[in-house]
Structure 1
Amino acid sequence: MTSKQKKLFKKLVQHVGLILFTFIMLYPLLWMVGSSFKESSAVFIDAHKLFPEEWHFSNYVEGWKGFADISFTTFYKNTFIIVTIATIGSILSSTVIAYGFARIQFRFKKTWFAIMMMTMMLPFEMIMIPQYVMFNWFGWVDTYLPLIVPTFFGIPFFIFLILQFMRTIPKELDQAARIDGCNTITIFTRIIVPLVVPAMMTAAIFSFYWRWDDFMAPLLYLQTPTKYPVSLALKLFSDPEAVTNWGAMFAMTTLSLLPIMIIFFIFQRYIVEGISTSGLKG
């Protein structure tokens, strides 16, 4: 076997291995999509089959009808309201805070930054009860406020991500802008923000994904079914006192993944650019 043939054989083995690995990783997703077209009673009977012998497109129609005259149109609308406002709030506030840590000198800056970073280590289970008590005292339970308002005070991971990106921007730009008569706010809005758009977009994609996929927070704070997001509405399919419509549940679960996949494929270049550039300078 010549050296050229050995290289071709090595590439062939690599590609076959990658294809098999990709199939293994995607198998649960493919199984879910296939099950969304199966008859509900056959989902687990024919669990070994990836796709059904008889396709039931009616699962999507039945699933979209929802429960108690509340269709998934309402659930999707609620989700988009929560996700959109929370994402805007988290990105705007995190960018402002990151700019403060990156460019503004104030007392105990390193101490406050260390405290902020330590909050990333707190598990949600530790602050879940104190937050619920506080929001209940505010009268915010069964509203969207507990899901939205905290995002307007910054997200530590996003602050760190955007801060690292800002550190790659030369401070000479700030000095040149001040010579031209710009103040701190003008420098932030006209110079810094346009340059950190990749990091902001990366944070926005993560925020969209996390808020869209969030289940525990809506479960804690929302009590009225008409206010449920999609993540919480999917739980309604699994009723221990009734027969679960597995086909419809998998159909709606499949649809719930579409917005995330669309957002990811459209803005994936920002993820790569934002994360890679944020790590260039400590």
Structure 2
Amino acid sequence: MAGKRTFRQISSVLLHIFVTLFALLMIYPLLWMFSSSFKDTSEIFVNAHQLIPTHFKFSNYTNGFKGFAGISFSVFFKNSFIITILSVVGTVISSTLVAYGFARIRFKGAAFWFACMMMTMMLPSEVLIIPQYIFFQKINWINTFLPLIVPSFFGGAFFIFLLVQFLRGIPRELDESATIDGCGVFSIFIRILVPLLVPPIITVSIFKFYWTWDDFFSPLLYLNSPKLATVSLAIKNFSDPTMQTDWGAMFAMSVLSLVPILAVFIAFQKYIVEGISTTGLKG
């Protein structure tokens, strides 16, 4: 018994060492970026292996926040928050309503339409770029936030599937009891099911927040004016091939761009686990 206990202890220690080293390997790029945000531009790539700066240059944050072309970085943060928050709201409302229809309302062709919806997940986004751009150009939405926000109000296949699986795990007896008490279809949805859908709704919100906040290609495609640029697009604009790039300020703004993501994750991480782990379980 003593030998087995010793073996388990050694195995546990080795496992913790391996996990710690792997975690450090995964987090090293973030540590390097954070360290570089306090370095002078001339030092960043010369002493790239050195995480602790020789001289801390806190002015990188003030210089970076000044932005470029006379536009403060606060404008870019505001643009990103507007696009992200409205996209999250649109995705949650539309995806929840569609999921409720698929999971709870019986209608002709439900299985067929659900299959069509699921097949859109296999459609490469590259296929849609040109048709969508032409469509948005025809209705004069280019160089506005509308192409980045309005599509979110038509749901997302992945989020609808996630919510449908959760709804299927909620007993239908709740709906029947509410119907006996005089609730209609919409009342059942608002009063009975939405409170039970809080964990997956928060999970959907977090994922949509991450994906929209980090999106670089869509703002690059639809936004031409510097005043409308998002944070990801503005950080890219710090790199100027025609002149010397202020890498210190660029990394400083990159660090600040991670603050909302980290804040959301820390505040709602328990809902991510709960929303995913309970999806698809039968009640």
Q: Same fold (TM over 0.5)?
A: yes
Q: CA RMSD in A?
A: 1.2
Number of the residue aligned with 2:204: 203
CA separation in 1, counterparts of 2:3 and 2:162?
49
Number of the residue aligned with 1:155: 156
CA separation in 1, counterparts of 2:123 and 2:138?
23
Secondary structure in 2 matching 1:265: helix
Counterpart residue identity of residue 31, structure 1: W
CA deviation map 1:192-240 (0-9, x unaligned): 1110110000000000000000011101110110111101100111111
Which aligned pairs between 1:210-225 and structure 2 lie closer than 5 A?
210-225=211-226
Counterpart residue identity of residue 20, structure 2: I
Number of the residue aligned with 1:110: 111
Consecutive unaligned residues of structure 1, counting only runs of 5 or more, are none
Displacement of 1:162 after TM fit? 0.7
1:102–1:167 Cα contact (<8 Å) kept? yes
CA separation in 2, counterparts of 1:35 and 1:129?
38
* Higher mean displacement: 3-12 or 221-230: 3-12
Number of the residue aligned with 2:52: 51
> TM-score under structure 1 normalisation?
0.98
CA deviation map 1:103-162 (0-9, x unaligned): 111111111111110111112111000000000001000000000001001111110011
Displacement of 1:281 after TM fit? 4.4
Which aligned pairs between 1:35-184 and structure 2 lie closer than 5 A?
35-184=36-185
CA separation in 2, counterparts of 1:57 and 1:111?
58
2:170–2:282 Cα contact (<8 Å) kept? no
Counterpart residue identity of residue 210, structure 2: Y
CA separation in 2, counterparts of 1:135 and 1:3?
67
* Higher mean displacement: 202-211 or 38-47: 38-47
Percentage of matched positions with identical amino acids: 56
2:169–2:280 Cα contact (<8 Å) kept? no
Matched, 1:7 2:22: no
Dislocated runs of 4+, deviation >6 Å: none
Counterpart residue identity of residue 13, structure 1: L
CA separation in 2, counterparts of 1:273 and 1:39?
44
CA deviation map 1:49-95 (0-9, x unaligned): 12212111111111110001101100001110000011000000000
Matched, 1:247 2:248: yes
> TM-score under structure 2 normalisation?
0.97
Displacement of 1:11 after TM fit? 1.8
